[in-house]
């Protein structure tokens, strides 16, 4: 069964999500940005979501996590929780 590890940043607006993505692409540390800005409890661990399989996260997450290239920031991804930046750190198919 497929497994992935990922980290994310959750914010309320698409504009804030894009601002943070630009900062990360400019060299800012993903984990630091997550700790300072994410509204998800995972922010305490730099946005780390640990390991999970298909269907364990919301559909929008699954679509990105199980198809996006590794170690590349994806997003904004809109879910019922808000706007996310996602980074897949490993995947086994």
Domains and CATH numbers, the chain: 3-92 (3.10.50.40)
pLDDT at residue 47, as a whole number? 98
Q: Cα dist. 49→15, 55, 86 in Å?
A: 23, 14, 10
State how far the Cα of 91 lies from the Cα of 40, in Å rounded to an integer.
Answer: 22
List the 48-52 sheet strands across, edge first.
Answer: 48-52, 3-11, 82-92, 74-79
Locate 2 and state its tokens. Answer: 């497929």
* pLDDT score of 1: 83
Mean pLDDT of successive 10-residue segments in the chain (93 residues)?
A: 96 98 98 98 97 95 95 97 97 91
First to last CA, the chain: 7
């Amino acid at each position: 069964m497929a497994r992935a590890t990922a980290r994310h940043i959750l914010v309320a607006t698409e504009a804030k999500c894009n601002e943070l993505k630009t900062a990360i692409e400019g060299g800012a540390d993903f984990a630091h940005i997550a700790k300072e800005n994410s509204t998800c409890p995972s922010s305490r661990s730099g946005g780390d979501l640990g390991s999970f399989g298909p269907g364990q996260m919301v559909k929008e997450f699954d679509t990105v996590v199980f198809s996006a290239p590794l170690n590349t920031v994806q997003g904004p991804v809109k879910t019922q929780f808000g706007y996310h930046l996602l980074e897949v750190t490993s995947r086994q198919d």
